[in-house]
Chain A
Amino acid sequence: EVQLLESGGGWVQPGGSLRLSCAASGFTFSSYAMSWVRQSPGKGLEWVSAISGSGGATYYADSVKGRFTISRDNSKNTLYLQMNSLRAEDTAVYYCTKPRPYGTGWYGCDHYWGQGTLVTVSS
């Protein structure tokens, strides 16, 4: 059974940093791209970032590019999101997802989701 367990959320002041983790189990972690999707309170879903199975390719939304860094440790089956220079608009529940490719696309769909971890950026 695939499980994704996020941790590391909490309260941080504007300009601060936080690192989210996602512990994965139930599949061969290094074989799959992984992703982060967020949802601000009462708002819709926003894709944040994705990383290839090897970690050699990373992708970011424009809203976080240059501030957030996605990475993974395949020996620990863990995905990370390092968030720097945090802003109030980064306040959201952050979900770790496991995409499932289809067709010729590398991403496909967000097949599995974690339960989410809340990040609150406020003074």
Chain B
Amino acid sequence: DIQMTQSPSSLSASVGDRLTITCRASQSISTYLNWYQQKPGKAPKLLIYAASSLEGGVPSRFSGSGSGTDFTLTISSLQPEDFATYYCQQSLRTPITFGQGTRLEIK
């Protein structure tokens, strides 16, 4: 199975900050990497697919990059509604696997 490791597991940041979350795959997954945002009590929401493609309706302050084994999700200027948990996911092969999540809290 392909293991996905996110870092950090949690972080505190302020409105307006720029931050980056990292996701590393245990083997090359090309660009079959997706990012999701989840708020408490809600289903996850797709933000980025194919490593760097922004899902429709998602603000442009979100961006993704990477290929192979190392990927990043960047939020250019944090907004109050961005405080949530973020997950990466590989879809190169089954079993589909998620990272353990990064919880973003308000400082």
Which A residues fall within an 8 A CB radius of B? 35, 44-47, 50, 59-62, 95, 99-100, 102-103, 105, 107-111, 113-116
Contact A47 B96 (CB under 8 A): yes
When distances are taken between beta carbons in the complex, the residues of chain A under 8 Å from B95 are 47, 59-62
CB-based closest 5 A-B pairs: A113-B43, A47-B96, A109-B49, A109-B34, A59-B94
When distances are taken between beta carbons in the complex, the residues of chain A under 8 Å from B45 are 113
B interface residues, tally (CB under 8 Å) = 26
Contact B92 A105 (CB under 8 A): yes
Find the B residue at minimum CB distance from A110. Answer: B46
Contact A103 B96 (CB under 8 A): no
Chain B contact residues: over half helix, strand or loop, or mixed? Answer: loop
In the complex, what's the smallest C-beta–C-beta distance from A31 to chain B, in angstroms?
18
B32 CB-CB contact with A under 8 Å:
yes
Taken together as a complex, chains A and B put the C-alpha atoms of A107 and B97 apart, in Å, by 12
Would you mind naming 23 contact pairs between A and B with Cβ atoms under 8 Å apart? A44-B87, A44-B99, A45-B44, A47-B97, A47-B98, A59-B94, A60-B95, A62-B1, A100-B49, A102-B53, A103-B30, A105-B91, A105-B92, A107-B94, A108-B49, A109-B46, A109-B89, A109-B91, A110-B34, A110-B46, A113-B44, A113-B45, A115-B43
